[in-house]
Chains A and B, each alone.
Chain A
Amino acid sequence: MPPLRDKFTIHSKAVVCQDVELKGDITIGSGTVIHPKATLFAIAGPIVIGANCIVEEGAVIVNRRREVMRIGDDNLFEIGCRVECPSIGNSNTVGTRARVHHTLRLSHYCTISAGCLIVPSSDETLDPYTVVYAGENGLCDRRIWSGKGKMQEADLRRKHAEYLRDMLPKFNRLRRGEGA
C-alpha cells in the first residue's frame, strides 16, 4: 500500500509546535494543542483530531488502517503514550506511557491509566466511562466510573488547554497548515 502524501490541515486556533513529527494526511481541529516532540503518523489512512485535545510530549498517535482515524474533542494524551485506536470519542484520557493497540476503540469518558498496555485479540470498543488501570497483580483491571465530578474535570481540562495555548507560543515556533 502506498504511503499517503503529506497534507496537514491545521485550524487557525490550534497550537501545533514546530518540533512535532507529522506524516501523512492530518487534520487538527480548533483549540487543540500538540506539544513539541509529539508524533502523528497517518501511515495508511488520514488522522482527524477534533477540538480542544491535548497531545503531550513524546505521545505517538498512529493510524495503521486505511479508514480515517477520528479523534473527537477534549481528549488528553499524556506524556509518552502510544495510541493506535481507529476511533476515539470525546473526553477520554490516555495516561503517561500507556499503550493502546489498533484493535481497541474508545467511546467517551474512558480512562487508560498510566502504564497500561491494552492489546485486545479482536476488535473491541470500550463502553463510556470505562477505566482501565494497573491493578495490584500488575495486570490491567477494568471498572466503570460513576462520572461524578466530570463537569469539574472538563472545566479543568479546558483551563489546561487554554493555559497551554497562551504559554506554548511564547517559547516555541508554531506550525501552520498548508495554505494558512
Chain B
Amino acid sequence: MPSVHYYCPCLSTSPVPPPPDLESSSYSFHELHTLYFCTEPECMAIRCNRCVSVEVNGYYCPNCLFEVPSASVRAEKNRYGACARNCFQCPSCRNTLVIVASDPPEGSLSASVAAVGITGEPPYFLYCNFCRWDSTEVGITFEKATGLAGQLQKTEETAPDVVEFERLKEHFEPFLRAAPSGGIAHAHSNPITSAASSALSRDISIPGLSKYSALLAGRRGGRNDREKAGTTSKDKEELAEFRSRWETGAGASVAEGEVDWIKHLEDVGEVATIEQRWVGSWTTSMRERDLKPLRIPLHSKKTKRCPQCRHIIIKPEQKSQSVRYKMKLTASNFVPAIAISVPPPVASTKAVDPNAPVTFHAGRTYPFRLAFTNPMYEPTTVTLQVQRAPLLKGRPPFAVSLPSPPFAIAAYAEAWEYEDEDEDMADEDIDALLAGVGSPSGYTQPREVAKPKKPKTVGVLERKANTTVIGGELVIGKEGRGDAKFNLLVTHTYQAEDTAAQEGETEEKSTKTPTSRQAEVKTFSFYIVIDLGVIIPREKEESHRRDSEQMSIS
C-alpha cells in the first residue's frame, strides 16, 4: 500500500528530514491523525506525541468514573493509583467484578422452591458474570456491599508486595524531598523522560534487581541535580543501599512446594496462565485457585503543551464523563490531508490484492495521484518541491516529476454549501467520462486533456469541493532498485482573514494590527514522505523470467 507520512522535526536540529532510505527516517514521520499543531505565530509548526510535554489533568476510575483528586493519588492510601471504591477486575478473565449477596441456606428453601423472590443475605462476595469466578474461592467475603476497597485494605496491607512498596517509598522519600521540586517536574513532563524514569522505578521493584536500585536512582538523581540545580552529587552518597525483604535465593523453597504440586497435577487448568500472573508485582503462586481480585487502575486525562512556547495544544474537559476538549489543536485542522494512489498498470487483468506492496519495474514510467484536501475555511495555494532522491552509484534510482507551478485548493465548507457546485461537477464529470471513453483502470480522465491524444499525467487532474487531485510521474532508472520513496516539501499559502474565529484563540486578535486583519497572507511549509512501492531490479526480473520459461518447457 502506498503511504504518506508527515514530518515532525523534533528529533533533529535541522528542519529538513533525513533521506527516506535511512532506517532512522521512519521515526521522524507520523500519520497525520496522530499529530498536533501549534498555532502560536512564533511556532506555526507540527508537533508530535513525542515532543509535546504532558501534564496530568486529573485522575478517574474507568469503571465507576469517579474523579480522584491528584493529591490523594499521590498520598499513600491510593496505592498503585487504583480505584479506592468498589471496582475490581476478575483475576481469571479481566472482566469487571460485581458484588453479590450469598444465597440463603439451602435447607430453608426446599419447601418454597416454586416461590419467586429469593433475597440474598450477607456475606457478600465479588463475582464475575463472564467466567463465574468468585472471591469465595480465595476466601474473600465482605460484611457490607459498599466500601470494598477499604474492607480489603486490611488484608492487602500485609501482602508482601505492598509492604515492599511502602518500604521503597520510605527509602526514597528523603531523596525526593531533597531534589529540586521544579526541576523534577519539568524533567518528567516530556513523555520520553517520564517513560524512562517510570521504567527505572519499575526496575527497582523487581526483587532480584533491588540491590542495584540505589545505584540507578542515585545516578539518575545525580544527573538531574547537576543539570537542573547545579548542586553536587552529594545525594548519591547519602542515599543508603536499599535492602529488599526478598532474598533472591529464598524462591527455591517456594518452588519446591510447587514442583510437588505440579507432579500431582491432573488438570492443567489449575495452573494460572502467564497472562493471569503477569500483573502481579511480586512472586505469585502458580495456582489458579490463589488468584486475587485486581484493583482497577485509574486512568488520567492529560494536557499537552508545545515544547517550544509552552502554549496548550490539547486540554480535555475536567469531568470524567465528558469526552470533549477545551482545546484541541490537531494538525488535521491546519494542514492539508494528502492521500496517495497508484493506478494499477493497464495490462494487468488479474485481481490485485489491495494490501500487497505496489511493485515497479526498472526502466519504466508510472503515473500516481496525490489528493490534497484542505481542512481550512480559507482557500489555499500549494507548492510542491521534491527533495533530491538518494544517489545510487552516482545515478538516482528514480526520478519524480510533479507539477512545479502552485495550484489552488478550495476552502472547506459544510456539506450543504457545496450543493450548487455539485451540480456543476456532475456535468463536468459526464464530459470527462465521455472524453475518457475506453480509458483504462476506471478512473475518469480530466476534462482539460480531452482533446490531445496523449492524456496528461502530470498536473492538476481534478478539482472537487475542497479536494484537488494532482498527477505525478515516477520515472525509474535502468539500474533502479530499492524503495520508491521520497521526501516532499509542501508549502501552502493562504489568506487568513480571521484566524481568531477558526483557531479559537482570543489572544490572536489583540496582537494583530488593524491593517493586517484584512487579509494576512500566511505561509506554512512541512515535509512529507511518500512511499510508492518497491522497485524490482532488472537482473531479478530477468532471472524470474528465465525461471518461468524453464517451467513452461518442462
Contact = CB atoms under 8 A, between A and B. Distances in A.
Interface string B84-105: 0000000011100000111110
A142 B273 CA distance: 12
Given A141-B269, A142-B269, A149 B131 contact: no
A65 interface: no
B118 interface: yes
B136 interface: yes
A148 B131 contact: no
A143 B134 CA distance: 11
Contacts of A152: 100-101, 103, 118, 120
Contacts of A141: 92-93, 131, 269
B103 A151 contact: yes
A143 B127 contact: no
B165 interface: no
Contacts of B137: 146
A8 interface: no
A148 B103 CA distance: 7
Contact of A149 (B106, B134, B273, B276): B134
A143 B132 contact: yes
A176 interface: no
Residue picked from B94, B103, B117, B132, most chain A C-beta under 10 Å? B132
A134 B269 CA distance: 14
A151 B100 contact: no
Nearest to B275: A136
Given A143-B132, A155-B118, A137 B275 contact: yes
Given A137-B275, A151-B104, A152-B103, A143 B131 contact: yes
A150 B131 contact: no
Contacts of A124: none
A131 B94 CA distance: 15
A150 B132 CA distance: 11
A151 B109 contact: yes
B273 A135 contact: yes
Interface string B276-300: 1000000000001000000000000
Interface string A90-115: 00000000000000000000010110
A162 B370 CA distance: 63
User: How large, as a class, is the contact surface on chain B?
Assistant: 20 to 34
A132 B361 CA distance: 53
A133 interface: yes
A13 interface: no
B132 A151 contact: no
Given A133-B93, A141-B269, A151-B103, A159 B116 contact: yes
A7 interface: no
Contacts of A134: 93
B59 interface: no
Contacts of B133: 143
Interface residues of A, number: 23
A149 B103 contact: yes
Contacts of B132: 111, 131, 133, 143, 145-146
A64 interface: no
Interface in A135-180: 135-137, 141-143, 145-146, 148-152, 155, 158-159, 162
B125 interface: yes
A159 B120 CA distance: 15
B93 A135 contact: yes
A158 B117 CA distance: 10
A128 B373 CA distance: 61
Given A113-B131, A133-B130, A136-B275, A148 B93 contact: no
A137 B136 CA distance: 26
Contacts of A111: 132
Contacts of B134: 145-146, 148-149
Residue picked from B102, B118, B120, most chain A C-beta under 10 Å? B118
Residue picked from A131, A150, A162, most chain B C-beta under 10 Å? A131
Contacts of A149: 100-103, 120, 127, 134
A142 B117 CA distance: 31
A134 B104 CA distance: 31
B92 to A, nearest CB: 7
A150 B94 contact: no
Nearest to A95: B130
A74 to B, nearest CB: 11
28 contacts: A111-B132, A131-B132, A133-B93, A133-B131, A134-B93, A135-B93, A136-B93, A136-B275, A136-B276, A137-B275, A141-B131, A142-B269, A143-B132, A143-B269, A143-B288, A146-B137, A148-B125, A148-B127, A149-B100, A149-B101, A149-B103, A151-B103, A151-B104, A151-B109, A151-B118, A152-B101, A152-B118, A162-B116
Interface of A: 111, 113-114, 131, 133-137, 141-143, 145-146, 148-152, 155, 158-159, 162
Given A151-B118, A152-B100, 4 more contacts: A111-B132, A149-B102, A149-B103, A152-B120
